[in-house]
Amino acid sequence: MKRVELFAYPAWHSLSPAMQNAAFERLRIGARYLTREVPPGELPAAVAGLRDPEVLGANVTLPHKESVLPLLDAVSAEARGVGAVNTIVNRGGALEGHNTDVSGFMRSLADLKFDVNERKVVVLGAGGAGRAVAYALLMSGSGEVLVHNRGKERAERLAVDFSHLGEIRAVASDELETAARACDLLINATSVGLLREGMSFDETPLPAGQLPAAGAVIDLVYRPARTRLLRDAEAAGLVAQNGLPMLVYQGAEAFSLWTGHDAPAEVMLAAAEAMLAG
């Protein structure tokens, strides 16, 4: 049986196995999606194993989305532009890197009916997900993208990398409240709020008083379904969306890359929702 692997560290929280296996079963494709916990030092060996003829490819998530690039034979223009890969496809032993987070995020915005054109957006986080979101926003005509990261140097590097795409700059901690209050869309692309051992349900990347005065808030965290950030946003009368739509849409595109078939996105969504409800 063919297989697809998820490389993560840690990997226990992912909904992707349930989602992708439901899609394989619906289309009667003889493949299984398996979670694999890969510490950073073991990434090169894990990637090399994807050349096996029985492997269709892999997903790559925290903390490997950027460090995996030099281990691949080819990288799509979009993934190269983002500087991060979340999907690997095995093409007869040659490994191709793709970034389906970009299209997944834009499809989730379409569900929200939010037009980013000429809007001011604050992105929290400058890792792989933050890079994909910032890239998608700039390519879609956002007026200004402001990036905040706990380590400011990483946000500054992202801003420099994407400066040719549009108006983007790093925001320091002492500027964040002003920037967040004035933005039209705020996106959490960090893992703050993610359900994990020792997590507090009051954990949030942004205090309630620093939310946008109007507009929308997206938290890419999907477990729990309603993070503290989203609860605060709803209480403030803002439009709120969690990361489940993006997860499903990026996963559907990855499925198509691995199999050559149109993904049953509604089946994938139902499987992910069932896991969250359980």
Contact 188, 205 (CB under 8 A): yes
**Which residues contact residue 258 at a Cβ distance below 8 angstroms, ignoring those fewer than 6 apart?**
4, 31, 56, 57, 89
Exposure class string for 127-158: b at 16+ Cβ within 10 A, else e: bbbbbbbbbbbbbbebebbbbbbeeeebbbbb
Nearest-angstrom CA–CA distance, 132 and 109: 14
Q: Which of 2, 65, 120, 152 is catalytic?
A: 65
Cross-strand bridge partners of residue 5: 34, 58
Verify whether residue 113 is a known catalytic residue: no
Distance of CA 30 to the CA centre of its chain: 27
Nearest-angstrom CA–CA distance, 154 and 211: 23
Contact 7, 38 (CB under 8 A): yes
Which residues are annotated as catalytic? 65
